[in-house]
Amino acid sequence: MINDATLPLHVEATEWKLPSSRKVAVICLILTETGLFSIFVAAYLFYLGKSLTGPFPRDVLELPVLSTICLLSSSVTVMLAERAFNRDRVGRFKLWWLVTIALAAFFLGATALEWRRLIYQKGLTISTNLFGTTYYSLVGLHASHVVVGLCLLSLVFVFSLGGYVTRMHRERIEMISWYWHFVDAVWVVVFIVVYVIGR
């Protein structure tokens, strides 16, 4: 009879190193999220110029330059925060982390104002025409990811105020920053598709 006690068949001297399961999982998550966004982007591109009635993108869309700069620079600040964290500079970590949160919040606020302007001044809602349908769903899908990111960031910040974020959480911090970079990268695509090609 074979039992597990006899199993260490041969002890190998070589190092046995495997990637962290958390990293693999986050990469997989990003992969499947990419698939999700691809379909919405494909729908947006396919329906460009197919709206039968106005308002049309060129009439109502304005380049969200400031909020784009904010979101993209939040990728830099989250990196700085991470670096400070890895060097045990807690104060600096909290500062950069807070800046990241502020930038993300600014981006969301700007999106909210833009939507308000489109809805109340331009009369564009999700049901107005195809442009409205595709625009709000693609930008909204991205914004919902920003909201999730903002929740994660805030959670870490609150915990760090209480001193609960320690070296043990290094990899989790890194994973959140990976997710955040992904959200930013998606925005680059959305920006190009909606505001550059789509206008």
Amino acid letter, 12 = E
At residue 33, what are phi and psi to the nearest 5 degrees?
Answer: -65, -35
User: Residue 8 interacts with another protein (CB under 8 A)?
Assistant: yes
The interaxial angle of helices 21-46 and 130-161, nearest 10 deg, is 160
Encoded amino acid at 159, one letter: F
Question: Binder to another protein among 65, 126, 161, 188 (CB under 8 A)?
Answer: 126
Cα–Cα separations (whole angstroms), residue 18 to 7, 23, 24, 72 = 21, 11, 10, 32
Between CA 76 and CA 177 the distance in angstroms is 10
Residues 36-55 that bind another protein (CB under 8 A): 36, 38-40, 43, 46-47, 50-53
Cis peptide before 57 (omega within 30 of 0): no
Of 98, 133, 152, 157, the one binding another protein by CB under 8 A? 133
Pick 20 or 102: Cβ nearer another protein: 20
- Please, which residue, 94 or 145, has the CB nearer to another protein? 145
Please, which residue, 5 or 168, has the CB nearer to another protein?
Answer: 5
Q: Which two tokens stand for residue 177?
A: 């920053």
Q: Is 178 in the site for another protein (CB under 8 A)?
A: no
Q: Is 196 one of the binding residues for another protein (CB under 8 A)?
A: no
The least distance separating another protein from the CB of residue 138, rounded to whole angstroms, comes to: 10
| Least distance in angstroms from the C-beta of 195 to another protein | 21
CA angle 82, 27, 191 (to 5 degrees): 80
Contacts to another protein from residues 135-164, by CB under 8 A: 137
Q: Which two tokens stand for residue 97?
A: 């982390």
Nearest to another protein of 43, 80 (CB atom): 43
Q: Which is nearer to another protein, 1 or 196 (CB)?
A: 1
For another protein, give the closer residue by CB, 63 or 148.
Answer: 148
User: What token pair was written down for 3?
Assistant: 């039992």
Name the residues that contact another protein, by CB under 8 A: 1-12, 16, 18-22, 24-25, 28-29, 31-33, 35-36, 38-40, 43, 46-47, 50-53, 126-127, 129-130, 133-134, 137
